[in-house]
Amino acid sequence: MKNLKLKKLKIKRVKLPSKISNPLRKGSITVDKVNEAIKSVSNITNDTVSDHREDILSTARKFIYPLQHSKHKFVRLSVGIALIVLVSFFAYCSIELYALQTTSGFLYRVTEVIPFPVAKEGGRWISYNSYLFELRRNMHYYITQQQANFSTKDGKNQLTTLKQQAMKRVVNDSYVSTLADKNDIKVSGIEISSAISTVRQQNKLGNSDQVLSNVLNEYWGWNINDFRRELGIELLSQKVAAKLDANTTNQANSVVGLLNSGQDFASVASKYSQDSSTASNGGQYGSDITLNNPNISPIVINKLFSMQPGQVSGVINSGTNLEILKLISKTGNSVKAAHIQFNIQPIANYTQSLKSSNKPSIFINVSLN
């Protein structure tokens, strides 16, 4: 194997040209200038990075602060305009409702959202919406069914009467609500639906949802929710009157006890019934009863058509009376029946004492006699 001699490599020193050409730009940069540029670059340390960052942020703040100031100014301006609009809107509504007593549909919808008060009794505020609800339905009836013109002299007088009636009604409803709260009496949505179903079964409110809707709108300007609202008020008044009239309730229950003990229905009816037109006849109605009989409570009719001949019911609250029913016979779409009636004291007997101790404060110019 031959010995290999390592030859000493000689590296020739290459002489740099005095100018370096850059193919990407015209002209050239001298080596001295490059070296000077490199020497001018400061060493990168934590301090230099922090200083550099602060320089950048300070430059950015010159643009950010004016933007933030403009944003705050815009927000303040927007809030100011919104407050002015809100105050103006409340002022407009207050003038229309309390000074001019406007009954327009727009203001009625406003009172559904904003609880403007129309009166106060005791510690209970009475909403302007409840007043307009009552007044507008009566106005609608007189305009559409009686062709009333409230812009004439007689029409204005009639409108004043309707306003007084509406105010009396909502004040009385407020007293009823106060009594209901004290006695823990409520009306559920199920009770309202049941009452509507009872009446509709007798075709007194139309035989379809559309017919019912048309009838309500034609006569009162109502929809189904308005009708439920009115019915709820009526049912609450009936329940309060029945609960507070303890004497009548106790009397009716005692008569049920007599009947359960075997006493004759006709004899008991003749002695205890407060319906003078039927008591002398053993409580028997003067004629057969049909489903759409207009002279008998729908609750009574509905109960009778669910009974069997000879059956006697318990105490039934028909709204204004307590009833005990007996079905005598049933033929086709009519029945023969008898009843024992107990008259519930009017709700006014119980609200009158509240009116004496808590007279209402009325916020609009409607005189109450």
Tell me the residue type at 239: K
The average pLDDT across 15-34 equals: 52
C-alpha R_g of the chain? 44
How confident is residue 63, by pLDDT bands cut at 50, 70 and 90?
low
Residue 194 pLDDT > 70, yes or no?
Answer: yes
What is the distance between the alpha carbons of residues 219 and 196, in angstroms, rounded to a whole number? 17
- Answer with the residue of higher pLDDT: 70 or 349: 349
pLDDT at 52: 61
| Lookup: tokens for 228 | 């439920």
Q: What is the pLDDT of residue 215?
A: 86
Q: How far apart are CA 262 and CA 259, in angstroms?
A: 5
Q: Residue 73: its pLDDT value, please?
A: 72
Quote the pLDDT of residue 5.
45
Neighbours of 214 (CB within 10 A): 12
- Which positions ≥6 away from 288 have C-beta within 8 Å? 331, 334, 335, 336
User: Percent of the chain scored above 90 by pLDDT?
Assistant: 58
Lowest mean pLDDT among 20-29, 52-61, 161-170, 259-268: 20-29
SS3 helix, strand, coil % of the chain, rounded to 5? 55, 15, 30
Neighbours of 321 (CB within 10 A): 20
Determine if residue 221 is left, alpha or beta; phi over 0 gives left, psi from -120 to 50 gives alpha, anything else beta. left
**76 to 87, 217, 305: CA distances (angstroms):** 16, 47, 70
> Which residues are bridge partners to 119 per DSSP?
126, 362
Express as a percent the part of the chain with pLDDT over 70.
78
pLDDT band at 14 (very low <50, low <70, confident <90, very high): very low
Asked if 206 contacts 132 with a C-beta cutoff of 8 angstroms, the reply is no
Residue 106 one-letter amino acid = F
Query: What's the pLDDT at 1?
Result: 44
